[in-house]
């Protein structure tokens, strides 16, 4: 990655406390969070499209949220628009009685903390500081900026492990995947359905839909890499309600994909970053996120916001 392609993506984990029970939850709450955040931004004349690029809820809603529950949401933002994002976060802290239905700040939800998930809370020991002074390659890339962009070195071990992964390996679609169907791919609808994974070029195409850490992050073409073949899938298309009031629906693919082959360095880099930045459409609804379970034991950063992390 050359200097003109430096990573510019920021992450911020938000912890909310539930003030009163929230019962009318959709299975995937991304659209509800997006609607709330847009209202907060607009209340302060902030363009929500500039405030954040994506959000990641902590998971699917299995049951109503109870009073005093802690709920996590992660924001993905562009460091080149950091001032706008910081203004939005300040508005989020100060907002009261803003929201729709059961998602209302100050009535049903309260922001209690914000944390940068890739910055440790503990100070460096004198030994580690001394070693970094002796070896410039060990310098802490985050020591200058209190909220820096993600650093590629954070994912180096994952990228190397993925290049040497035992094949076949699994990719789990943890939130709905919504990819515009290529003209030559099977299917009839605008968005790719389950038949998409039977297309010989599905993996190659999916990798080009990954949001990369550089400025031009989506739909970035990839050079031809190692052949990666989808052996089987356990996926389903899920139609999700956008909101109970509007009766609008938004769908995507969820489930598990079994893949045969070894990614080359470029493919591995994209696939690793995609776990944190997503792929496909509707990122502001939390769509397009996934994880590669074989990398769980070595990852330095959780793919999703976790309370206390």
CATH of the domain at 164: 3.30.70.1900
Reported confidence tier of residue 250, pLDDT bands at 50, 70, 90 = confident
Residues 190 and 253 in one domain: yes
Among 86, 115, 144, give the residue marking a domain's end.
115
Residues 119/23, Cβ–Cβ less than 8 Å: no
* Number of domain units in the chain: 2
Average pLDDT of span 155-176: 96
- Using DSSP, state whether 146 is helix, strand or coil: coil
Residues 243 and 289 in one domain: yes
Instruction: Look up residue 158 and give its two tokens.
Output: 């994952």
Which pLDDT value is given to residue 196?
A: 94
Residue 203, pLDDT above cutoff 50: yes
CATH number at residue 77: 3.30.70
Residues 164 and 226 in one domain: yes
- Using DSSP, state whether 246 is helix, strand or coil: coil
Residue 217, pLDDT above cutoff 60: no
Average pLDDT of span 248-266: 91
Which pLDDT value is given to residue 257?
A: 97
Residue 35, pLDDT above cutoff 50: yes
Residue 127, pLDDT above cutoff 90: no
Residue 306 resides in a domain = no
Residue 196 resides in a domain = yes
Residue 42, pLDDT above cutoff 50: yes
Task: Give all strands (DSSP E) within 42-192, no chain letters.
Answer: 54-57, 70-78, 98-100, 103-105, 109-115, 169-177
Residue 134, pLDDT above cutoff 60: no
Residue 138, pLDDT above cutoff 50: no
Residues 41 and 174 in one domain: no
Residue 146 resides in a domain = no
Which pLDDT value is given to residue 123?
A: 33
Residues 75 and 156 in one domain: no
Residue 285 resides in a domain = yes
Average pLDDT of span 27-52: 95
Residues 90 and 191 in one domain: no
φ, ψ for residue 301, nearest 5 deg: -140, 135
Which structural domain range is residue 47 located in?
3-115
Q: Which residues contact 279 (CB under 8 A, 6 or more apart)?
A: 177, 179, 206, 209, 210, 211, 218, 288, 290
Residues 96 and 212 in one domain: no
Among 115, 140, 167, give the residue marking a domain's end.
115
- Using DSSP, state whether 256 is helix, strand or coil: strand
Per DSSP bridges, beta strands 103-105 and 248-260 are unpaired
Which pLDDT value is given to residue 226?
A: 83
Cis peptide before 168 (omega within 30 of 0): yes
Give 99: exposed, middle or buried? Use CB within 10 Å, 0-12, 13-18, 19+: buried
Give 214: exposed, middle or buried? Use CB within 10 Å, 0-12, 13-18, 19+: middle
- The residue with greater pLDDT, 211 or 306, is 211
Which pLDDT value is given to residue 205?
A: 94
Residue 173, pLDDT above cutoff 60: yes
- The residue with greater pLDDT, 135 or 174, is 174
Residues 101 and 162 in one domain: no
User: Rounded CA gap, 204 and 56, in Å?
Assistant: 25
Residue 121 resides in a domain = no
φ, ψ for residue 211, nearest 5 deg: -80, 120
Average pLDDT of span 15-31: 93
Average pLDDT of span 122-147: 47
User: Rounded CA gap, 262 and 274, in Å?
Assistant: 17
Which pLDDT value is given to residue 222?
A: 56
Residue 66, pLDDT above cutoff 90: yes
User: Rounded CA gap, 177 and 194, in Å?
Assistant: 11
Residue 120, pLDDT above cutoff 90: no
CB crowding 170-192: b at 16 or more within 10 Å, else e: ebbbbbbbbbebeeebeeeeebb
User: Rounded CA gap, 305 and 276, in Å?
Assistant: 10
DSSP one-letter string for 73-107: EEEEEEGGGHHHHHHHHHHHHH--SEEETTEEETT
Residues 242 and 181 in one domain: yes
Reported confidence tier of residue 3, pLDDT bands at 50, 70, 90 = very low
Residues 15/71, Cβ–Cβ less than 8 Å: yes
Residue 57, pLDDT above cutoff 90: yes
Residue 220 resides in a domain = yes
Residue 214, pLDDT above cutoff 80: no
Residues 175 and 276 in one domain: yes
Residues 222 and 287 in one domain: yes
Which pLDDT value is given to residue 219?
A: 46
- Percent of the chain topping pLDDT 70: 83
Residues 308/199, Cβ–Cβ less than 8 Å: no
Q: Which residues contact 289 (CB under 8 A, 6 or more apart)?
A: 56, 174, 175, 275, 278, 303, 304
Reported confidence tier of residue 303, pLDDT bands at 50, 70, 90 = very high
Residue 129 resides in a domain = no
Average pLDDT of span 50-60: 95
Residues 274 and 159 in one domain: yes
Residue 131 resides in a domain = no
Tokens 């910081």, residue?
86
Which pLDDT value is given to residue 239?
A: 84
Reported confidence tier of residue 246, pLDDT bands at 50, 70, 90 = low
User: Rounded CA gap, 219 and 215, in Å?
Assistant: 12
């Amino acid at each position: 990655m050359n200097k003109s392609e430096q990573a510019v993506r920021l992450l911020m984990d938000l912890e909310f406390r539930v003030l009163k029970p929230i019962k009318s939850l959709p299975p995937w709450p991304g659209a509800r969070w997006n609607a709330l955040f847009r209202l907060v931004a607009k209340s302060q004349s902030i363009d929500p499209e500039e405030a954040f690029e994506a959000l990641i809820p902590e998971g699917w809603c299995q049951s109503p949220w109870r009073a005093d529950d802690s709920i996590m949401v992660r924001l993905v933002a562009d460091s080149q628009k950091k001032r706008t994002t910081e203004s939005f976060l300040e508005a989020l802290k100060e907002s009261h009685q803003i929201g729709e239905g059961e998602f209302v700040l100050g009535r049903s939800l309260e922001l209690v903390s914000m944390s940068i998930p890739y910055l440790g809370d503990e100070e460096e020991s004198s030994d580690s500081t001394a070693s970094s002074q002796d070896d410039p390659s060990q310098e802490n890339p985050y020591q200058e900026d209190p909220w820096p962009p993600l650093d590629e070195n954070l994912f180096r071990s994952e990228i190397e492990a993925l290049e040497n992964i035992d094949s076949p390996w699994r990719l789990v679609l943890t939130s709905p995947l919504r990819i515009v169907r290529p003209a030559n791919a099977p299917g009839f609808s605008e968005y790719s359905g389950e038949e998409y994974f039977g297309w010989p070029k599905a993996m190659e195409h999916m990798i080009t839909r990954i949001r990369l850490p550089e400025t031009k992050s989506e739909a970035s073409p990839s050079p031809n890499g190692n052949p990666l073949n989808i052996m089987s899938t356990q996926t389903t298309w899920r139609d999700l309600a956008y909101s109970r009031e509007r009766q609008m629906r938004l769908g995507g693919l969820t489930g598990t994909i079994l893949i045969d082959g070894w990614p080359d360095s470029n493919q591995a880099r994209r696939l690793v970053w995609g776990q944190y930045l997503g792929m496909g459409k509707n990122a502001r609804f939390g769509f397009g996120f996934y994880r590669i379970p074989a990398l769980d034991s070595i990852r330095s950063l959780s793919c999703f916001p976790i309370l206390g992390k």
